[in-house]
């Protein structure tokens, strides 16, 4: 079983689409801010 990853201080929020919103928050946590729309486009969806 994979080890759990805990992002201290991570603040979730509601978006329009769950997958790009989750990716956006993880990237934002690491200092890369992209819009949900950009991530949706990059994902081809």
Reported pTM: 0.62
In the structure encoding, which two tokens stand for residue 2, read together? Answer: 């994979």
Query: Using one digit for the tens of pLDDT, what is the confidence trace for 7-21?
Result: 888 777 777 777 888
Please name the residue ranges forming H helices in 1-45.
Answer: 18-29, 36-42
pLDDT tens digits, residue range 23-40?
Answer: 888 898 889 999 888 988
Select the more confidently predicted residue: 1 or 14: 14
Residue 22 has pLDDT above 80, yes or no: yes
Contact yes or no for 45/24 (Cβ under 8 A): no
Contact 25, 12 (CB under 8 A): yes
**For position 45, what pLDDT does the model report?**
64
């Amino acid at each position: 079983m994979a080890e759990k990853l805990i992002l201290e201080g991570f603040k979730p929020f509601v978006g329009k689409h769950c997958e790009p919103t989750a990716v956006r928050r993880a990237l934002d946590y690491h200092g890369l801010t992209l819009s949900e729309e950009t991530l949706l486009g990059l994902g081809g969806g």
